[in-house]
Amino acid sequence: MKLLQTCTFLLALLVFVSPVFADEHPVEETPPPTKKYVEFTLNGTYADTKTVSTFGTSSTKTLRGLFKKLDILKTDDEIAGVIFKIEGVSLGWATLQEIRTQLSEFQDVGKETIGYLESGGNAEYLLAATMDRIVLMPTGSLNLTGLRAEVLFYKGLLDKLDIKADMLAMGKYKSGVEPYMRDGMSDAFRESMTALLDDLYAQSLNHLAESRDSITPESASDLINRGPFTAEEAKQEKLVDALQYYDELIAELKSASDDEEVQVVKPSFERKRKVPDMNSFAGLMQLFSMLNPPQRAQAAGKNQIALIYASGPILPDIDSPFISMSAITPKGLKKAFEKARADDAVRSVVLRIDSPGGSALASDLIWREVMLTQREKPVVVSMGNVAASGGYYIAMAAGTIVAHPSTLTGSIGVFGGKLNLKGLYNKAGLTKEIISHGQNATLYSDYGGFTPTERERVEKMMRTVYEDFVSKAATGRAKSFDEIDEIAQGRVWTGKQAKELGLVDELGGLDTALSIAKKQAGFAEDDKVNLIVLPKQRPFFEQFLEQMIEDTEGSIQLGGWKIGRMEGWGFQPSILPAFHSVLGAHWQHVVTWLTLFGFKDGTQIVTILPYDILIR
């Protein structure tokens, strides 16, 4: 009996105690799977290269930098999707197309993409349209208003200042002189601009149609004619998929599934840098370090492709590092091409051009370097937003030319002349007396127009440059002089039109050009290739020291500082940046104009576009 009681007690004790032990070793619950979205902002301008200023390279966002970040997002297996916040975009047409191509590749790797707009214009919407879903803020608007071309004419201002532009042009459509000599477009200029706009408009309609299932090219035209749209109208027209504030979008994503934990995070490569304390010497040094980041080591190895950037107007070699804008000079590109030719590890070269042109003489010097390199190694040109006039000149010696459908190119023609400032001098109470020997001694004087014999000589020089331009283009394109002359005449073409005319070989972006260069270099498709970028961008102080060492003659030395002066105008490049804030978007045009027409060495013959085309 006692034994039975003992067993019963032990059994009861076991029943009561066992839950305690069970609580000490609970069954582990499996956490729900995580679905990660990355928030990425697309805004502002993306350029081919950073602008070098006095203190270093600027914080300009580069196209290759953007593409590297997008590649990281595409290949990260932990990322399920990307929310692109698109705002304040200002891009050239070709840059827009190149970014659209990169964004569309997210669908190929199975990652969801969402475009979020607070409001948007043409550029913002065309980027968002590549994505799986477009979300617009409820109080926002969609400003699809079509395209327009605006050309600023300066003749009225010059008349008020009593300045006369004495200029000539070679080519029926070479319109670079018109803003300075006319109040409006000539018939030829209007014809050329209308044809450009027609092609770009057709391309934009096709982009809309291919991006949105509910839109055809015909309905796209009707939509644009009825724009801009309120948020509700955009939703009704199926231009956007949802109207939500950003926090509502995030809340919807997080509540979409009970089986997954949704996270919205910043990209791993976006780390905020602490603003240095400007009240301390250490803070100033930190700021200087941020403005002058250490240069990354160039890729080493035997399998190399050189990527040479040519961005900005084409200017003569200027002995001053003070001009803070992107520019192409013969000296800079000559060093880059010489390095590419001398280095046996470099098997091919890609020349990336984004330039409206400039000095005819400087363009020819660069053309020579391209031609010499093409004789030894394949050279492939990649055209950006614009590679026209002098920009096409430096491209035409390459073995292969690649352009975007919307690249502005061609414009094979020249113009030149000078500004007669006599009236302006007299208004200011200044007069000049000129004593000359030689019938054409006053050709480059700013105190009068061309005499009949001077005009005859300028026209002869310009025709020689034009015929040389056409001949070199004919040789590079394997066509006759007459065939190129017919499509030259200063006419600007889109890349799509240029491909049909034989001025370019392929349509595509920088990736397309690099792929062609890799193939022409003899690499297999799966071979690893190292890319070296030339020329190296250097901050002001490094350039300044190099100039002091290389060039100590021909300029006034004041306490070790060299003062550059543009003959004929008498202004100093070192003071030009002060006008940047006043001149705004026209800054580069003004500096380019003054640089090209401020020399007395024959650089008055130029090959340049008088306008830019941006999409907004």
- Residues annotated as catalytic are 389
How long a stretch of residues is the chain? 616
Tokens of 548: 């002091």
CA distance 503 to 460: 26
- Please, how many CA atoms are within 13 Å of residue 448, restricted to the half-sphere of its CB? 15
Give the closest residue to 563 by CA, choosing from 320, 325, 327.
Answer: 320
Which residue do the tokens 């270099």 mark?
A: 521
Q: Which two tokens stand for residue 432?
A: 């000049």
Closest C-alpha to 318, from 577, 545, 572: 572
Question: Which amino acid appears at position 513 of this protein?
Answer: A
Is the Cβ–Cβ distance between 160 and 175 less than 8 Å?
no
- Dihedral of CA atoms 552, 558, 563, 565 in degrees, nearest 10, equals -100
The residue ranges of DSSP E strands in 389-446, in sequence order, are: 400-403, 408-410, 414-420
Residue keyed to tokens 């060039």: 551
Closest CA to 124 of 150, 142, 138: 142
What single string gives the DSSP state of each residue in 542-579?
HHHHHHHHH--SSSEEETTEEE---TTT---GGGGGGG
Backbone angles phi, psi at 82, to 5 degrees: -130, 130
Strands 133-136 and 400-403, by their bridges, are: unpaired
Going from the C-alpha of 422 to that of each of 119, 166, 291, 418, the distances in angstroms are: 50, 12, 44, 12
- By C-alpha distance, which of 354, 357, 367 is closest to 404? 354
> Phi and psi for 134 in degrees, rounded to 5?
-115, 125
Distance of alpha carbon 365 from alpha carbon 218, whole angstroms: 47
120, 331, 541 from 555: Cα distances, Å: 51, 18, 19
Q: How many Å apart are CA 137 and CA 115, to the nearest integer?
A: 11
Give 509's DSSP letter: -
Cβ-contact 414, 458 below 8 angstroms: no
How far apart (Å, rounded) are the C-alpha atoms in residues 466 and 460? Answer: 10
On whether the CB atoms of residues 195 and 496 are closer than 8 A, the answer is: no
d(CA 366, CA 310): 10
- Under 8 Å between Cβ of 60 and 293: no
Quick one: tokens of 10?
Answer: 């032990």
Q: Which of 326, 380, 390, 318 is nearest to 357 (CA)?
A: 390
Burial class (CB in 10 A: 0-12, 13-18, 19+), 291: middle
Gap between the terminal Cα atoms of the chain: 98
Q: How far apart are CA 397 and CA 458, in angstroms?
A: 27
